[in-house]
Structure 1
């Protein structure tokens, strides 16, 4: 019996999802992202998600061989794999009502780069690098990269990543503002889990509204953003966590949020 392509483990209120093809640096066949989508749609009460890769790499990209072996036109097969398998996982992350952290060591390449950067917080180890090398094989970046990269690092640096196809080491990614933090390789797992745990202990309703507002803010105007904030504030104010936060403030104590 083959090992699951995605390992799922609850660590307190954090759901840890680990890409599990360490012998291939977690090169992702379509079925891996389909499994990831299923796991993301069944949080079972988890209040944060941590995305990781087994072994020495986060994800070295899509398993091109797995797609190429499918019958029919290769261009159509690639489009179908993106539309049916890879993109739904990234859209599921965007739609989550809880925060997402990615822990990256080694390569985050191609669709793996898009996956790592889809998280709210990307924590990388010294060994990590980010890469869209499609230009080297006559293809184009995918997984929302053309939308995501210019918004994270600006058009000029996005063009550098996409059109020159060179590695961006973790230290440079941090300098560019592409990721949240760089840590020593042996500290990565603990640091990323601690951050996910901190988020999981926060006011889940408010955090979920924040992450969706940040995502939608890329394509809305100033007035629309304020209108959305007002509506979100109404929803957040009605949560039990907001009541707890107010009482904790008045009583000069730390709040005990329950995620409701």
Structure 2
């Protein structure tokens, strides 16, 4: 709850922009996310698409969120205190803004470097203005990037309406998705998603993903073409690095690539990807 998570994301982006010029996308992940593809799969598929695309689930149809998420005014003490405490609510609500259209959607996003430079460096007032407004909403990570990108003429048509995640919601939906288990494995594999959430700690389905998809041994990194060491019971092949620019996609890369192709076909058919 609150805007602490958004502040952490923006801080991380600012640090990465300062440290390195070689990255193209920023992917938000949490401890509840787990990959359904290898790093090589992701690099292979993303190497063939436009670098300015943003994968962000969004809509301007706020529904119940208008009265319960946008209009209530909250203060997140974690913004200015070293020790995080619970957010607290103001007694009144504020009217919806008329200077911009509010968009909402999934808090899990894959954002391009050009768009994040726009958010961080702010050569227009829009990112800064919206940051001040959304600092006081209940879940700012569900609205900030969505509203910035869809109110910006420069970036609004770079949005692919998807978050590349696999999850199952309970009915009625709760705050977090359904806990995934081995019964969800086949659907996860066939979904073509890059990540899934959420899982039971040390759940058996995680072992299935490690064994069948990631080819990952216990307590070791997911191997890629950059791993040059000898594999044995006592030696991690990824302890020795080769050329990190060489990739070797696996079978799951095909399903992920097909999923991306479908999303891009839909994106190409739309004249305004933030119209709804």
Give your verdict on TM over 0.5: no
Q: Give the strand-richer structure, 1 or 2.
A: 1
Greater relative contact order structure (CA < 8 Å, 6+ sep): 2
TM-score, length-scaled by structure 1: 0.28
Structure of greater Rg: 2
TM-score normalised by length of structure 2:
0.27
The structure whose residues are more often helix, as a share, is 1
